[in-house]
């Protein structure tokens, strides 16, 4: 039996945990410092499953390989895990002959990487395929294998499935140190104590450099790169069906216009390099949003009115030196495996990275993996009333009247769904917060952004958790919804 | 609940309640649908006075006003009921789907009075950037917390927006001993009623900062500070005017937006007004879809609850007429256009053959000006105007004679 700790419950760590849950001679722990899964780089990104024609196999062979393979794997994984996904395909657009050369370059990279179905199309076909595209676009590299997924739903699904298959989670648990004895991993130290382990897999995204350093491997630095986004209401007419983006630069894939899996128009991201200390800075800025606006104008024929903004947000992506993925073990520390530097296209690559890590266990660490006979590939998503037929809806309400209590009007989320989310959070050992319920039910995600229903949601959680409403947290420690009873400041003055 | 009604009222706030009561008086077979557990709408959480001055000729609190409307509760209603969709089958038949704890119901009705109120503008619809932190509330959410749930949101508060809701919430926080650092308004003048500026700010020594915006909210987990900036007449930020204010709570009172969700999702299109963001209606408060009427804040944001109630009654009278004649009489509609200093007008269409009440909001304050129909030079009223106070203009039919297919309303000296 090998005890394996996967550190970091983002998209890669969760994919690895799920993959390793297949084997009966592995005891897998998934350790995460946040109170819920997927709250790092995973939470706020473009949500694209990339085809794999943007990673040059000469300079980034590993990235190219796992991207193309990950894209293929997501088809099965999404189906098994009941993760909402769409495969609209994408268009890299070009305004003139000079940019056309770039399209050809990326088509050729795609060919080398084994990306299927790439083709360059000209103006008329382009407009036929995507009428919302900017009229300046003369050519496009069409990549039908591109998809969109809700990244946080993907992580939740992976972790739920992993836990169902025996993985033990330690959320709200920060790793403080790693002990190495006689050239082997011996334990990891957390706030809550020491855990003996044989193998540590470092999947800590933005913090992979710091965790690697704990094991004595400090030869790289991860810097945060900020991406800001606009999200618009579902019913804006300007949204394209296909993903639209410009030709990439050295640094980034550029600003995308995306219809999310939920049907919202999303524009972004920026690519702002922050210093190494700013790994928590998820602020938006007027300049950043203006940058997106300017570049989005080149993608779409028309942009929606700004009063249709549903929200703006920013995420941080980990940027490793030379953009290079480090998925490897080390000869001098047996049992330490880095899955570090997983920048874009990390979401796409996650299932393939999980396979890669499994191969490392077999080939580098010489672990004979024995498959479980009763491993469950499937996981069911949360049951949403609004997805059902009228007949089904009637039955559901008859059996549980909480399905007849709509809490979030914008997304038509019912009390039963909120309570199911609470159960699911508890099952993976997470903390019930407004955000963790939001990411599971989509309540608070609609165009009122919670001004109608946040208090009602909090009331439900307060009843369920049996704590006063003001103690319910928005997103973990230090973020309570209120400061106390409404008379609290009166009494403190008198006292 | 039955399968069929003559009128379904959606939303049991002041407009919906007044509408349903009037429908009942007029003998219509009416059902009222409310999403919350209780009838009454937003006034239920308003513990301050200022309600009913016109409608009941008394100064009541919001709660009292709602209770007064509910005294006559012989109307058929359903609470905790969410309208999931409206299907326009024909001019005489609309299908309404309702989700309730008792099941999913599908009702047929000849008419609908849509009175779902308004939602609050949220931070992403403002210019506020910065971190995503706890301690940021919409003003109405803060009010619900304090006066429905008995929860105190925070202790050092900045209120953004000086409309009535912002002013009232500034006072509400002060009454609970919170430190209200100030009310921030981007316009050069307060957005709310003068009586509220006096009673809510002056009486409590709460400063009002005009021509200022909140640029950023900052902090680690909960709000720690905000960055403000001064703006010029064009609302552009004046560089270098940034200031930091420490606070733990930001209450956003940056405006209301008609909650038209179910109308928006209908397959048959309801035409919306880009300025009010509610449906465009004629003097019967009928939308472009026959038999669908709108009243209250979903139609236009009212300063006084009384006006919302009047609109409800008007819609009920129209619904009664619709049911009696199987449709409203055809007319030559005259479009009311917005002229100088007019921001919005509701209704957007009038006939000119009967008295009509126009709800008009101006763009900027002006003392002693005339409200005029440009085409006929007819003077309707002389008054001082202020964006915070909606003008309710009753226009007799004599003043509407000889009109062409449109008129333009102007406010000028």
Query: How does pLDDT run across B92-127, given as a tens digit for each residue?
Result: 999 999 999 999 999 999 999 999 999 999 999 999
Instruction: Tell me the C-alpha distance between B146 and B45, whole Å.
Output: 9
Instruction: Tell me the C-alpha distance between B206 and B179, whole Å.
Output: 9
The pLDDT value given to residue A451: 87
What distance in Å separates residue A145's CA from the closest CA in chain B? 31
* Cross-chain CB nearest to A483 (options B120, B132, B155): B155
Query: Is residue A125 a part of any domain in this protein?
Result: yes
The pLDDT value given to residue A492: 64
The answer to whether the CB atoms of A398 and B133 lie below 8 A apart is no
The pLDDT value given to residue A495: 41
Query: Is residue A180 a part of any domain in this protein?
Result: yes
A100 and A77, same structural domain? no
Q: Given CB atoms, is A283 within the 8 Å cutoff of chain B? A: yes
What distance in Å separates residue A215's CA from the closest CA in chain B? 29
What is B122-254's CATH superfamily? FAD/NAD(P)-binding domain (3.50.50.60)
Catalytic residue annotation of A: 50
The answer to whether the CB atoms of A489 and B80 lie below 8 A apart is no
The pLDDT value given to residue B73: 65
Q: What is the pTM of this model?
A: 0.95
The pLDDT value given to residue B308: 97
Q: Given CB atoms, is A275 within the 8 Å cutoff of chain B? A: no
The answer to whether the CB atoms of A459 and B149 lie below 8 A apart is yes
B14-25 vs B305-325: helix crossing angle, rounded to 10: 40
Please give the backbone phi and psi of residue B231, each rounded to the nearest 5 degrees, phi first.
Answer: -125, 155
A157 and A49, same structural domain? yes
Q: Domains in chain A: how many in total?
A: 3
A232 and A281, same structural domain? yes
Here the CATH number for the domain that contains residue A328 is 3.50.50.60
Instruction: Tell me the C-alpha distance between B15 and B297, whole Å.
Output: 8
CATH class (in words) of the domain with range B1-121+255-330: alpha beta
Domain end residue (candidates: A330, A355, A381): A381
Q: Given CB atoms, is A494 within the 8 Å cutoff of chain B? A: no
Which of A70, A42, A51, A196 shows the shortest CA–CA distance to A112? A51
What distance in Å separates residue B232's CA from the closest CA in chain A? 17
Cβ-Cβ contacts under 8 Å between A and B: the total is 149
What distance in Å separates residue A203's CA from the closest CA in chain B? 24
The answer to whether the CB atoms of A455 and B144 lie below 8 A apart is yes
The answer to whether the CB atoms of B151 and A482 lie below 8 A apart is yes
Which of B121, B173, B201 shows the shortest CA–CA distance to A482? B173
Here the CATH number for the domain that contains residue A421 is 1.10.10
Domain end residue (candidates: A291, A316, A341): A316
Q: Given CB atoms, is A280 within the 8 Å cutoff of chain B? A: yes
Query: Is residue A241 a part of any domain in this protein?
Result: yes
pLDDT in tens, B235-263: 999 999 999 999 999 999 999 999 999 99
Task: List Cα–Cα distances, A425 to A35, A407, A421, in angstroms.
Answer: 10, 19, 6
Chain B residues touching A34 at Cβ < 8 A:
none
Q: Given CB atoms, is A397 within the 8 Å cutoff of chain B? A: yes
The answer to whether the CB atoms of A484 and B152 lie below 8 A apart is yes
Q: Given CB atoms, is A401 within the 8 Å cutoff of chain B? A: yes
Sign of CA dihedral B192, B193, B195, B198: positive
The pLDDT value given to residue A266: 98
A394 and A308, same structural domain? no
Residues of chain B with CATH 3.50.50.60: 1-121+255-330, 122-254
pLDDT in tens, B203-215: 999 999 999 999 9
Could you tell me if B214 and B158 are in contact, meaning their C-beta atoms sit under 8 angstroms apart? yes
The pLDDT value given to residue A328: 97
Exposure string for A434-458, b = 16+ CB within 10 A, e = fewer: bbbbbbbbbbbbbbbbbbbbbbbbb
The answer to whether the CB atoms of B129 and A487 lie below 8 A apart is no
What does the pLDDT profile of chain A (495 residues) look like in tens digits? 999 999 999 999 999 999 999 999 999 999 999 999 999 999 989 999 999 999 999 999 999 999 999 999 999 999 999 999 999 999 999 999 999 999 999 999 999 999 999 999 999 999 999 999 999 999 999 999 999 999 999 999 999 999 999 999 999 999 999 999 999 999 999 989 999 999 999 999 999 999 999 999 988 999 999 999 999 999 899 999 999 999 988 777 799 999 999 999 999 999 999 999 999 999 999 999 999 999 999 999 999 999 899 999 999 999 999 999 999 999 999 999 999 999 999 999 999 999 999 999 999 999 999 999 999 999 999 999 999 999 999 999 999 999 999 999 999 999 999 999 999 999 999 999 999 999 999 999 888 888 889 999 999 999 999 999 999 999 999 999 999 999 999 876 554
Mark residue B216 as left, alpha or beta (left: phi above 0; alpha: psi -120 to 50; beta: remaining).
beta
A336 and A369, same structural domain? yes
The answer to whether the CB atoms of A284 and B129 lie below 8 A apart is yes
Residues of chain A numbered 53-82 and touching chain B (CB < 8 Å) = none
Q: Is beta strand B4-10 parallel, antiparallel or unpaired with respect to B103-114?
A: parallel
The DSSP call for residue A200 is: E
A270 and A242, same structural domain? yes
Q: What is the mean pLDDT of residues B379-404?
A: 89
What is the pLDDT confidence band of residue B351, given thresholds at 50, 70 and 90? very high
Q: Is beta strand A184-190 parallel, antiparallel or unpaired with respect to A175-181?
A: antiparallel
Which of A311, A273, A338, A342 shows the shortest CA–CA distance to A42? A342
- In a mutational test of the A interface, the residue from B34, B118, B131, B132 whose CB has the highest number of chain A CBs within 10 Å is B132
Could you tell me if B259 and B119 are in contact, meaning their C-beta atoms sit under 8 angstroms apart? yes
Query: Is residue A486 a part of any domain in this protein?
Result: no
A421 and A391, same structural domain? yes
User: Which stretches of B161-286 are assigned E, i.e. beta strand?
Assistant: 179-184, 208-209, 212-218, 225-230, 243-246, 249-252, 256-258
What distance in Å separates residue B56's CA from the closest CA in chain A? 29
What distance in Å separates residue B404's CA from the closest CA in chain A? 33
Calculate the dihedral angle through the C-alpha atoms of A273, A274, A280, A282, rounding to the nearest 10 degrees: -60
Residue A236: which domain range? 90-144+223-316
pLDDT in tens, B150-173: 999 999 999 999 999 999 999 999
Chain A residue closest in CA terms to B142: A455
- In a mutational test of the A interface, the residue from B117, B121, B137, B149 whose CB has the highest number of chain A CBs within 10 Å is B149
A66 and A172, same structural domain? yes
Which of B287, B365, B384 shows the shortest CA–CA distance to B328? B287
- In a mutational test of the A interface, the residue from B104, B130, B165, B231 whose CB has the highest number of chain A CBs within 10 Å is B104
Q: Which residues contact A204 (CB under 8 A, 6 or more apart)?
A: A7, A8, A10, A13, A40, A210, A211, A340
Q: What is the mean pLDDT of residues B64-78?
A: 90
Could you tell me if B127 and B218 are in contact, meaning their C-beta atoms sit under 8 angstroms apart? no
């Amino acid at each position: 039996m090998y005890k394996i700790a996967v550190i970091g419950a983002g998209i890669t760590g969760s994919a690895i945990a799920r993959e390793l849950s297949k084997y009966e001679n592995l005891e897998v722990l998934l350790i995460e410092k946040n109170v819920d899964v997927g709250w790092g780089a995973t939470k706020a990104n473009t949500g694209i499953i990339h085809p794999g024609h943007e990673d040059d196999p000469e300079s980034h062979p590993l990235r190219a390989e796992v991207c193309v393979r990950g894209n293929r794997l997501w088809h099965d994984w999404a189906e098994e895990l009941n993760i909402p996904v769409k495969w609209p395909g994408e268009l890299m657009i070009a305004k003139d002959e000079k940019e056309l050369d770039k399209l050809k370059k990326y088509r050729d990279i795609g060919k080398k990487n084994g990306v299927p179905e790439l083709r360059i199309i000209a103006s008329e076909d382009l407009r036929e395929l995507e009428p919302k595209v900017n009229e300046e676009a003369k050519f496009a590299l069409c990549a039908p294998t591109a998809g969109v997924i809700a990244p946080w739903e993907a992580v939740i699904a992976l972790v739920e499935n992993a836990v169902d298959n025996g993985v033990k989670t330690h959320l709200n648990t920060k790793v403080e140190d790693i002990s190495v004895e006689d050239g082997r991993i011996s334990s990891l130290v957390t706030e809550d104590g020491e855990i003996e382990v044989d193998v540590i897999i470092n999947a800590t995204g933005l913090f992979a450099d710091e965790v690697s350093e704990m094991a004595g491997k400090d030869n790289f630095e991860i810097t945060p790169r900020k991406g800001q986004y606009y999200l618009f209401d579902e019913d804006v007419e300007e949204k394209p069906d296909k993903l639209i983006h410009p030709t990439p630069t050295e640094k980034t894939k550029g600003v995308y216009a995306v219809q999310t899996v939920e049907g919202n128009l999303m524009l972004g991201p920026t690519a702002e390099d922050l210093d190494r200390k700013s790994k928590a800075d998820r602020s938006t800025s007027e300049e950043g949003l203006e940058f997106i606006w300017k570049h989005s104008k080149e993608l779409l024929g028309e942009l929606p009115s700004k009063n249709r903004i549903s929200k703006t947000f920013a995420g941080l992506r980990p940027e490793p030196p030379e953009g290079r993925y480090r998925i490897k073990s080390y000869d001098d520390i047996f049992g330490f495996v880095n899955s570090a530097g997983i920048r874009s296209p990390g979401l796409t690559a996650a299932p393939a990275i999980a396979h890669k890590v499994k191969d490392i266990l077999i080939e580098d660490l010489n672990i004979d993996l024995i498959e479980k006979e009763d491993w469950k590939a499937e996981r069911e998503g949360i049951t949403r009333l609004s997805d059902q037929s009228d007949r089904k809806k009637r039955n559901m309400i008859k059996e549980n009247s909480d399905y007849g209590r709509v809490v979030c009007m914008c997304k038509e989320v019912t009390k039963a769904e909120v309570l199911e989310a609470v159960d699911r959070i508890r099952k993976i050992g997470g903390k019930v917060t407004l955000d963790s319920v939001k990411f599971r039910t989509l309540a608070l995600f609609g165009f009122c952004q919670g001004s109608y229903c946040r208090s009602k949601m909090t009331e439900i959680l307060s009843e369920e958790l049996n704590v006063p409403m003001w103690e319910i947290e928005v997103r973990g420690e230090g973020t309570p919804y209120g400061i106390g009873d409404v008379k609290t400041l009166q009494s403190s003055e008198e006292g | 609940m039955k399968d069929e009604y003559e009128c379904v009222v959606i939303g049991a706030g002041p407009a919906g309640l007044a509408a349903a009561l009037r429908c009942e008086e007029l003998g219509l077979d009416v059902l009222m649908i409310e999403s919350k557990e209780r009838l009454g709408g937003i006034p239920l959480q308003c513990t301050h006075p200022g309600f009913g001055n016109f409608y009941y000729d008394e100064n009541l609190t919001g709660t009292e006003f709602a209770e007064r409307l509910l005294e006559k509760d012989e109307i058929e209603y359903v609470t905790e009921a969410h309208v999931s969709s409206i299907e326009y089958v024909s001019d005489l038949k609309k299908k309404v789907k309702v989700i309730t704890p008792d099941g999913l119901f599908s009702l047929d009705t000849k008419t609908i009075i849509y009175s779902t109120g308004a939602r609050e503008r949220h931070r992403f619809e403002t210019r506020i950037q910065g971190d995503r932190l706890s301690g940021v509330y919409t003003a109405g959410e803060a009010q619900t917390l304090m006066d429905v749930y008995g929860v105190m949101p925070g202790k050092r508060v900045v209120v953004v927006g000086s409309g009535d809701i912002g002013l009232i919430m500034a006072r509400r926080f002060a009454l609970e001993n919170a430190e209200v650092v100030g009310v921030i308004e981007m316009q050069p003048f307060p957005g709310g009623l003068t009586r509220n500026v006096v009673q809510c700010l002056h009486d409590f020594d709460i400063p009002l900062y005009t021509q200022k915006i909140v640029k950023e909210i900052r902090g680690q987990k909960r709000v720690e500070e905000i960055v403000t900036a001064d703006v010029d007449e064009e609302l552009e930020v004046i560089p270098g005017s940034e200031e930091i204010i420490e606070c733990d709570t930001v209450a956003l009172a940056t405006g209301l937006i008609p909650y038209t969700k179910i109308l928006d999702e209908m397959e048959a299109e309801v035409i919306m007004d880009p300025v009010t963001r509610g449906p465009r209606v004629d003097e019967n408060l009928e939308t472009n879809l026959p038999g669908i009427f709108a009243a209250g804040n979903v139609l236009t944001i009212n300063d006084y609850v009384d006006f919302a109630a009047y609109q409800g009654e008007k819609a009920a009278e129209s619904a009664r007429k619709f049911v009696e004649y199987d449709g409203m009489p055809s007319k030559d509609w005259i479009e009311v256009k917005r002229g100088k200093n007019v921001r919005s007008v509701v209704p957007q269409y009038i006939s000119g053959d009967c008295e009509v009440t126009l709800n008009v909001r101006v763009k900027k304050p002006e003392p002693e000006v005339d409200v005029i129909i440009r085409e006929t030079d007819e003077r309707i009223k002389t008054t001082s105007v202020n964006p915070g106070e909606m003008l309710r203009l009753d226009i007799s039919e004599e003043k509407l004679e000889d009109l062409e297919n449109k008129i333009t309303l102007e406010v000028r000296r």
